[in-house]
Amino acid sequence: MKLRLLILALGFGSTTAALAEDLLHIYREAQKQDATVAAARATWQATQEKLVQGRSGLLPSVSLSGNLTQTNFDSRVKSEPPIDTERNYHSHGFTLSATQPVYRMQNFVAYDQARQQVTQADWILGAAEQDLVLRVAQAYFDALLAGDGVSLAGAQKAAVSQQLAQARRNFEVGTATITDTNEAQAKYDQIVAQEIAAQNDLEIKYRALQSVIGRFPASLSPLGPKLELRTPEPAVMDDWVARAEKSGYAVRISEATFEISKLEVDRNRAGHYPTLDLVASYNDTRSSASSLSTFGSNSKTGQISLQLAIPLYAGGAQSSKVREAAANFEKSRQDLEGARRAATLSARQAFLGVTNGIAQVKALQQALVSADTALSSSKVGMEVGVRTNVDVLNAQQQVYQVRRDLAAATYNYLMNLLRLKAAVGELREADLEQFNRYLAAN
C-alpha cells in the first residue's frame, strides 16, 4: 500500500511535476540498462569474429617446433672378447613449416558463409534495438494508461460518494426510498474494488518499466493536449506491405539464413572435391655424436612440395551431410516465405490499426461529449423527478468508461504508428522524439 501511495504521489501529484521523466529519457536509459539489447550487442561482437575465422582458412598456417634430446647409449657385442660401447651425447633442432591452401573449396565457401553471418548479425542487432523502442513505448504507455485508470477510478469514486451522500439525505427527508441509497452504496463499493484493482495494475506496469531500465521509475510525463492524429505517409497500404516484405528485419534475417543454408549445401558438397596445398618446411638438427660415431653432425633440410589429397570413401558420412544440408536449406526457404507472410500481415494490421485508430479516437471524443451531455441531463431530470438515482449512476459510469476507452484508443493509435514503422524496419529513436513532443512536459 505504501508503494502504491508513492506511485500516486510521484505520478499524479502536481507538486512533483519537475521530477517527471519523459519517454525519450526512459528510452535512452533503457539503451544502457536493458539486458536483452546488451546480450544482442555481445552476440553481434562475437559474430564479427566469424569473418576472421573464415578468412583464416584462405591464409597460410605457419608452425615452429623444436627439440632437445639427451641420449645415453650402452652396447655390448657378444664376441671373443666382448666389445662394449658406451656413449653419452645430446642433440637439438627445430623445424619451421608453412602450409598455404591452393585449392580448398570448403574453405572458400566457409568464408562466404562468414560474411553472410556478419551481415545477419547486423540485422539481428538492428531488430533487437528496434524491439527495444517498441518495448519501452509499450511499457511507458501501459504505465500511463494504468495511471489514467487510477485517476478515473478516484474521480468516479468521489462522484459516486457525492451521489451516495445525496441519496442518504433524500431518504432522511423522505423524498427518496431506501432503494436509491442501497443502489448508490452498491455502486460505491464496486468502484472501491475497481480502484484497488487499478492501483495494483499501476504497480505492475511500473514494475514492467523497471525491468527495462533497471530501476523503479519516478513519475512519467503524461500525454498533453497537442496530440496530432496523422495518417501514415504514404497513405496506401500496399506500399507499406511491399516495404515490409523487402526491408523488415525478420525478412532480412531469414534471407541471410537462407543464403547461409544454401552455402552450407555447397560447403558439404565440396567435401567430395580434392584439395591442393603448397607445403614448405625447413629443418635444422645438430648432434654432438650418434650411436654409431663419436663425431658430431649438423644437418639442414629445406623442402617445398605440393600435396594433393583426393577423398575416396568416408563411410558415407559426407554424402549424409550433403543431404542434411539440403533438407535444412529447404527449411530455410520455407522459413523465409513464412517471414515474408508474417511481415505482410504485421504491416497490414499496423496500417489498419493507425487508420482505424484515428476514426476510433475521434468517435470516442464525440462519445465523451455525448456522455457528458447525458450525465448533465440525467442530473437535471432527477431534480425534476423524471430520472432516478440509478439513471445518474449509470450515466456517470458511462462517462468514465468512455474516458478509459478514449485513453486506451489513443495509446493504441500511437503504438500502431510505431509498429507500422517497425514492420518495414524503419523504427528509430527519431520516432520517439516526435512522440516525446506530445507529452505534457514538452
Q: List, for residues 49-94, the tens digit of each pLDDT value.
A: 999 999 999 999 999 999 988 877 776 777 777 776 677 778 889 9
Convert the pLDDT of each residue in 381-396 to its tens digit. Answer: 877 777 777 788 888 8
What integer pLDDT is reported at residue 256 of this predicted model? 97
pLDDT averaged over every residue in the chain: 89
395: exposed, middle or buried (Cβ count in 10 Å: 0-12, 13-18, 19+): buried
pLDDT of 18 higher than 70: no
Share of the chain above pLDDT 70, in %: 92
What integer pLDDT is reported at residue 440 of this predicted model? 78
Residue 97 grid cell: 613449416
Distance (Å, whole) CA 243 – CA 23: 27
Convert the pLDDT of each residue in 168-208 to its tens digit. Answer: 887 777 767 788 788 888 888 988 998 999 999 999 999 99
Domain boundaries, the chain: 23-58+104-273+317-440, 63-101+275-309
Q: Among 172-186, 333-347, 358-372, which stretch is predicted with the lowest mean pLDDT?
A: 172-186
CATH architecture of 63-101+275-309: Single Sheet (2.20)
pLDDT of 5 higher than 50: no
Share of the chain above pLDDT 90, in %: 67
Distance (Å, whole) CA 336 – CA 253: 9
Q: Which residues of 287-308 are buried (b: 16+ CB within 10 A; e: fewer)?
A: bbbeeeeeeeeeeeeeeeeeee
Report, as an integer, the average pLDDT of 322-346.
Answer: 97
Which residue, 394, 420, 407, is CA-closest to 360?
A: 407
Q: Among 35-49, 87-101, 283-297, 407-421, which stretch is predicted with the lowest mean pLDDT?
A: 283-297
pLDDT of 293 higher than 80: no
pLDDT of 6 higher than 60: no
Identify the band that residue 292 occupies on the pLDDT scale cut at 50, 70 and 90. low
Distance (Å, whole) CA 165 – CA 335: 64
What integer pLDDT is reported at residue 183 of this predicted model? 82
Element (H, E) at 334: helix 317-384
CB 396 within 8 A of CB 212: no
Question: Which residues fall within 8 angstroms of residue 281, CB to CB, at 6 or more apart?
Answer: 95, 96, 97, 98, 301, 302, 303
Report, as an integer, the average pLDDT of 354-365.
Answer: 96
Q: Among 256-260, 331-335, 373-377, which stretch is predicted with the lowest mean pLDDT?
A: 373-377
pLDDT of 326 higher than 50: yes
Q: Which residues of 228-266 are buried (b: 16+ CB within 10 A; e: fewer)?
A: eeeebeeeebeebbebbbeebbbbbbbbbbbbbbbbbbb
What integer pLDDT is reported at residue 15 of this predicted model? 38
Backbone angles phi, psi at 377, to 5 degrees: -65, -40
What integer pLDDT is reported at residue 17 of this predicted model? 44
pLDDT of 10 higher than 50: no
Q: What is the fold, at CATH topology level, of the domain defined by 23-58+104-273+317-440?
A: Outer membrane efflux proteins (OEP) (1.20.1600)
